[in-house]
Copies of this chain bind each other. A is one copy, B any other.
Amino acid sequence: MPHMSRAAQLVERSPFFQAAGPAAMADILRPSFTQLLPRGATLFEQNDEPDFLHMLLEGSVGLQASVEDAGRTMVEIFGAGEVFLAPAVVLRLPYLASAVALTEIRVLMIPADVFRDGVARSHDLCRATTQLLSRHWRLMVDQVVDLKLRSAEDRVARFVARRISEESGAGDAALPESRIAIAARLGMTPETLSRALTGLEKKGRLRRGGAGATVADRKALAR
């Protein structure tokens, strides 16, 4: 990837790059390219065979799954720095979900066969992939527990809290995605999401703003 600059910086900051190291990444970055896509763009469709592994550099992407006669939902939302969907690429299996840009996005497109060859050739890349997949498994376990045990308000509180860095412990949580997308991710209706946000605001745990929420105490919000 010649002449990248902003993109290169964003790539190097990603946890996956940090884990794999520059040498292992160089081989898979060379044939890769970045795309700037508008909100609403579809990166891939459920049931497609993967042609690319994606690394999100800016913006927000939603994994949307449909079930015949049962509708559509949001499986997960990935932010900048995340790599997806390695499982489909590794296993050469059709995607279980579509990927839709929930904001304007900048995304690195890594050809699927280049990634698979990379994992087969580079032990470092392979190890970084085990770390990536391990982190993603834990995201899903967390969500399953959320859906099965936590109230709508608690789910919303934890979702907002995760948008604030743990180090700062307070600040503005950006929520650039549509209310519909966030509600689907949290397994609730947009109305329930609104009620939960109102409830949290009344309790003083957050203050709603234009494109997100201000949180005085991240820990107290996430409890």
A interface residues (Cβ-Cβ under 8 A, vs B): 63, 65, 67, 70-73, 75-76, 86-88, 90-91, 93, 96-97, 119-120, 123, 126-127, 129-131, 133-138, 140-145, 147-151, 154, 184, 187
A130 near B131 with CB under 8 A, answer no
B140 near A137 with CB under 8 A, answer yes
A87 to chain B, nearest CB (A): 4
A184 near B148 with CB under 8 A, answer yes
Q: How far is the CA of A42 from the CA of B41 in the complex (A)?
A: 47
Contact A150/B70 with A75-B145, A130-B90, A137-B137 known, Cβ cut-off 8 Å:
yes
A154 near B70 with CB under 8 A, answer yes
B130 near A96 with CB under 8 A, answer no
Closest to A91 in B: B134
Closest to A135 in B: B91
Task: List B contacts of A138 (CB < 8 A).
Answer: 87, 91, 93, 96
Task: List B contacts of A63 (CB < 8 A).
Answer: 141
A42 to chain B, nearest CB (A): 18
**Residue among A88, A149, A150 with the most chain B CB within 10 A?**
A149
Task: List B contacts of A150 (CB < 8 A).
Answer: 67, 70
B87 near A145 with CB under 8 A, answer no
A118 to chain B, nearest CB (A): 12
B120 near A73 with CB under 8 A, answer no
Q: How far is the CA of A14 from the CA of B37 in the complex (A)?
A: 43
A96 near B127 with CB under 8 A, answer no
Closest 9 CB pairs of A and B: A140-B140, A87-B134, A133-B133, A73-B148, A126-B126, A70-B149, A90-B134, A87-B137, A123-B123
Q: How far is the CA of A129 from the CA of B72 in the complex (A)?
A: 31
Closest to A142 in B: B96
B145 near A73 with CB under 8 A, answer yes
A115 to chain B, nearest CB (A): 11
A130 near B119 with CB under 8 A, answer yes
27 pairs from A and B in contact (CB 8 Å cutoff): A65-B149, A67-B145, A67-B149, A70-B149, A70-B150, A70-B151, A71-B149, A73-B145, A73-B149, A76-B144, A87-B133, A87-B134, A87-B137, A90-B130, A90-B134, A91-B131, A91-B135, A96-B141, A129-B130, A130-B133, A136-B137, A137-B137, A137-B140, A140-B143, A143-B144, A144-B147, A148-B184
